[in-house]
Structure 1
Amino acid sequence: MSLLLWSLIGLPLAAGALLALAGRRADRWAPLCAVAVAAATLGLATAAALRHPAVEAPLLAGLPFRLAVDGLSGVLVTTVTAVTLAVLLFSRAEFGADEARARFFGLMLLFAGSMLVTVTATTLPALLMGWEVMGATSWALIGYWWREPARTAAADTAFLTTRTADLGLYLAAGAALAAGPGTLALDGLARADEPWLSFVTAGVLVAALGKSAQLPFSFWLSRAMQGPSPVSALLHSAAMVVAGAYLLLRTGPLLDASGWGAEAAAWVGAATAVALGLVAVAQNDIKQLLAASTCAQIGFMVLAAGAGALTGGTLQLMAHAAAKSLLFLVAGAWLTAWGTQRLPALRGAARTHPVVGALCTVGALSLAGLPPLSLWAAKDVLLAGALEDSVRLYGAGLAAAVLSAVYSVKILWFVWDRPERRLREQEIPGGVVVPLALLAAACVALTPVAFPPVRDALTRYLGTGGQPAPHLWEFALSGALALAAAAVAWTWGRTRGARPLPLPSRVGRPVREWLGLERAAHALLVAPTLALARTAAAFDDKVLDRAVDALARGALGLARWTDRYAEGAVDGAVRGVATAARRLGRWARRPQTGQLHQYLAEAVAAFSAVALAITVVLVLVR
């Protein structure tokens, strides 16, 4: 059992590291190797989801490294590995021989492996390890084309924004450590006492909201669109961006125990779903629309975590992963074929390539939440859970669901509309249809008819047999509103010809620019930080530098005074001693004649005289 889990996380991490380090020498066989590893990892993930293995390794004293697969993480490891396989199949067809394919596929496997560590971690140290590697590899993948400054700047923005929020996880770990032993396990966080419990909750919330691009951190996801389309497909659907929502679903008891965390999470999720839904409606760039819709759809998951609708949030995560990865890959195929991601320029693209257009339609209708496709069931299960918690929360979620239908239909309206002029035939990269078809099949397979967990969740809320159906009206209302919104958006587009439901100009511009969140971040965080840095630099220039200059001038003045007075006095004393020594030497040399025998005779005579004198004295004394 332990070997199964070690293999699940070790295989993609080891293969990814080897490919990334091999460099251009491995470009030829890197795609095939990566696809084979992804397929094997999917098999291991399926086995782990069925057998629920757990492993433990020593890390620090009393602080082991623990991983486990249970019901929730089992869903995640299967979803992550399945989407990774589809994305790598697409990348194998799209990335040509002139690209650094070994580096790309290696980083993608590292990214997927770190996500697997994140979702199977049962302690904060293990979670932090996966969390950090995932953030680093996402930076490298977004800036994959590193020779283009715009892409590296986008990677820096995404990395620094998420890193700022990640500090919350370190705050949570520190507070949990201070709270006492045993609280570093994710299921033990709720046992912390106040005030540590509030610190842990706040840290987890901030880290999760930043990683999942929820308000006010949403803008980094817009910049992340500079990366390759396969990166967006994996990052936005089943990997990094859903990691924060998963963490909140996993730590639901902590949110409840804090007394305020659950409500905060639910309302932030609802606000993001509504606000970023409006942003998605206002976009005319397909990748920006999909990015904004990612924030909105993950807002539903965060809402579910706060409302305690674990089943609905998990189903939303799975269905969103299939639909969003499909749509991002379709956008990537069209970008490769036509060299644009502007929706007006893609008018009629689905007519030119009907198979890809049909697959796009499946993903868009699923994203719209139209019955009976996958996201309809997921949204309504979590909205039913939200209704049990708060009517206002349910109303906000219902409004966001209506917006989902509008921006999804907006995509379909453009790509199926008749172009003003005949589109030039463009080749879709060969081999991309297979992964797109697999993801479209997943969207259909996650429907209540085909997927038993969805059917069971619906049974709970709709009742069975003679049991009452307390939420039947809610499901009917949600489905009817989604259908009505989709019909209105389609009709508006057909009659007005510009775009479905355009926003007023005074509202539209800031909404299209992601609510000015990046400018606000610059104004509230970057600008004050730079101003503080400039103040520090000015203090350094005007105070410290001047003090150093004054000290230097004082030292030079002291040196000159020393040279002029003290050193002169010392030199004079030394010269005086030398002069006196010379004079004494001359005096000592005066009686010297240079005749040694004469000096000896004089000494003998002197000593003899002294001896004679002493003898006489002694005789007289006697």
Structure 2
Amino acid sequence: GKSAQFPLHTWLPDAMEGPTPVSALIHAATMVAAGVYLVARLFPMFACSPQAMITVAIIGGFTAIFAATMGMVMNDIKRVLAYSTISQLGYMMLGLGVGGLAVGIFHLFNHAFFKALLFMGAGSVNHATGTFDIREMGGLRKAMPWTFATFLIASLSIAGIWPLSGFWSKEGILAHAWAHQPILFFLAMATVFLTAFYMFRVLFLTFGGGYRGGSSGAHPLRESPLVMILPMVLLAILSVVSGWLPISGFLGGESHGFFSALASPMALVSLLLAGLGILLAYAIYSKRWLSAESLRQTFAPLHTLFSRKYWLDELYERVFVMRILVDGLFAALHWFDDQVVDGAVNGVADGTVAAGRVIRRLQTGQLQAYGLAIFIGVLAIVACFLIFG
């Protein structure tokens, strides 16, 4: 739940309401990373249980492709990045679940840079256009060259394109998955294709073509100020070089060579899938060789399933919120408040009224009755002394 893994992922896209720099921190390096970090810290304990390890791997692998399918159809740029975050966290969990402690944390490390950069880029285009809807953007490449260049670097990195940082950590996860869980390896490979597709769908719709937001008079299309561009440039540099840390000869790393990684068939297949995803996005959203609307109609059931987020929000609303919380817990609390709390308060009040009525009847104003009451009281006190010493 802390790292938004299925089925406890629904909160993360809704956390997009905050300012974009806050989203960059939350979804890149802080809150959502805590769950992955916790599993990594407890890795020796998980390693003692093969069942626990395979559970982590299955949840991570499924979450990766599950979130990627929803990211393909979202039109809010921050929501696309939110589902991208869920998918990348799934990659990290998959890496940890197949025994890749180092590669899981390495991907977490690299993800912090390119995902923060993507969110900062989203904030930059929002600053220029006044919207997060990619359908109302377009044509920003010339107006915002620095934002476009940095966003392109981050998109290439998250797609796993050599030699950017995402390539190195993602290949490590794929290698561990192939060695320990081949079925999950194929899920991860499919996610490579989907990731490249939805990220370049965003890139082409945002920066390519012509501006689709109507008149640009209300929001002049110009580059963001230096105070916004400089952090993006720094993050872009880190999105390139952070993956080089384990390379032999670079800071003393001994993991892999810079060019020898391309000799791996697995790396070549991964790059091919990423390239196909980019090419498909280019054909649909840049060159318009394929009609997005026709594809949407052809695959209408799938598009509806993905855009409605598998109806999980509605399921949780009806089952957990309405049935369990409203009809169950809240109804029980209402009964307790009505019967127990209010009953106790009303009981004290009714008892006080009843006692007052009894005392009022005793207040007759007759001296003989008062004397009799005093006499009975004295007898009771004397009897207590005699009985109890």
Question: Shorter-chain TM-score: what band?
Answer: 0.7 to 0.9
1:440 aligns with 2:231: no
Deviations 1:251-289 (A, max 9, x none): 221111133221111111111101111111111111000
Distance 1:554 1:284 in 2: 64
Distance 1:310 1:546 in 2: 58
Partner of 2:370: 574
Partner of 2:206: 415
User: Is the alpha carbon distance of 1:500 and 1:237 closer, same or farther for their aligned partners in structure 2, counting shifts above 3 Å?
Assistant: farther
1:245 aligns with 2:36: yes
1:218–1:517 Cα contact (<8 Å) kept = no
Which residues in structure 2 correspond to 1:527-566 (within 5 Å)?
A: 527=322, 528-531=324-327, 532-542=329-339, 545-546=342-343, 549=346, 552-564=349-361, 566=362
Superposition TM-score, scaled by structure 1 size: 0.53
Partner of 2:317: 522
1:457 aligns with 2:255: yes
1:311–1:382 Cα contact (<8 Å) kept = no
Number of residue-to-residue matches in the alignment: 362
Structure 1 counterpart of 2:306, from 488, 511, 519: 511
Partner of 1:495: 289
Distance 2:281 2:251 in 1: 32
Which residues in structure 2 correspond to 1:324-339 (within 5 Å)?
A: 324-339=115-130
Distance 2:71 2:363 in 1: 81
User: Is the alpha carbon distance of 1:428 and 1:561 closer, same or farther for their aligned partners in structure 2, counting shifts above 3 Å?
Assistant: same
Query: Aligned letter for 1:397?
Result: A
Secondary structure of the 1:427 match is: coil
Query: Aligned letter for 1:526?
Result: V
- Which consecutive unaligned segments of at least 5 residues does structure 2 have? 375-389
TM-superposed CA distance for 1:313, in Å, is: 1.5
TM-superposed CA distance for 1:384, in Å, is: 0.4
Partner of 1:480: 272
Distance 1:231 1:358 in 2: 22
2:63–2:86 Cα contact (<8 Å) kept = yes
1:264–1:306 Cα contact (<8 Å) kept = yes
Distance 2:20 2:252 in 1: 30
Query: Aligned letter for 1:534?
Result: A
TM-superposed CA distance for 1:411, in Å, is: 1.3
2:24–2:116 Cα contact (<8 Å) kept = yes
2:143–2:223 Cα contact (<8 Å) kept = no
Partner of 1:288: 79
Structure 1 counterpart of 2:186, from 383, 392, 395: 395
Superposition TM-score, scaled by structure 2 size: 0.82
User: Is the alpha carbon distance of 1:351 and 1:500 closer, same or farther for their aligned partners in structure 2, counting shifts above 3 Å?
Assistant: farther
User: Is the alpha carbon distance of 1:423 and 1:252 closer, same or farther for their aligned partners in structure 2, counting shifts above 3 Å?
Assistant: farther
TM-superposed CA distance for 1:448, in Å, is: 4.9
Structure 1 counterpart of 2:3, from 212, 216, 232: 212
Deviations 1:165-203 (A, max 9, x none): xxxxxxxxxxxxxxxxxxxxxxxxxxxxxxxxxxxxxxx
1:267 aligns with 2:62: no
User: Is the alpha carbon distance of 1:500 and 1:217 closer, same or farther for their aligned partners in structure 2, counting shifts above 3 Å?
Assistant: farther
User: Is the alpha carbon distance of 1:567 and 1:376 closer, same or farther for their aligned partners in structure 2, counting shifts above 3 Å?
Assistant: same
User: Is the alpha carbon distance of 1:507 and 1:225 closer, same or farther for their aligned partners in structure 2, counting shifts above 3 Å?
Assistant: same
Query: Aligned letter for 1:368?
Result: A
Which residues in structure 2 correspond to 1:137-152 (within 5 Å)?
A: none
Distance 2:45 2:254 in 1: 27
User: Is the alpha carbon distance of 1:426 and 1:387 closer, same or farther for their aligned partners in structure 2, counting shifts above 3 Å?
Assistant: same
2:57–2:98 Cα contact (<8 Å) kept = yes
Distance 2:261 2:206 in 1: 40
TM-superposed CA distance for 1:554, in Å, is: 5.0
1:312–1:381 Cα contact (<8 Å) kept = yes
Partner of 2:381: none
1:324–1:363 Cα contact (<8 Å) kept = yes
Structure 2 counterpart of 1:428, from 223, 227, 240: 223
Secondary structure of the 1:429 match is: coil
2:195–2:277 Cα contact (<8 Å) kept = no
Distance 1:350 1:303 in 2: 36
1:405 aligns with 2:196: yes
TM-superposed CA distance for 1:409, in Å, is: 1.2
Partner of 1:384: 175
1:368 aligns with 2:159: yes
2:114–2:236 Cα contact (<8 Å) kept = yes
When structure 1 is superposed on structure 2, of 549-558 and 339-348 the one drifting more is 549-558
1:213–1:219 Cα contact (<8 Å) kept = yes
Secondary structure of the 2:289 match is: helix
TM-superposed CA distance for 1:576, in Å, is: 8.3
TM-superposed CA distance for 1:553, in Å, is: 3.4
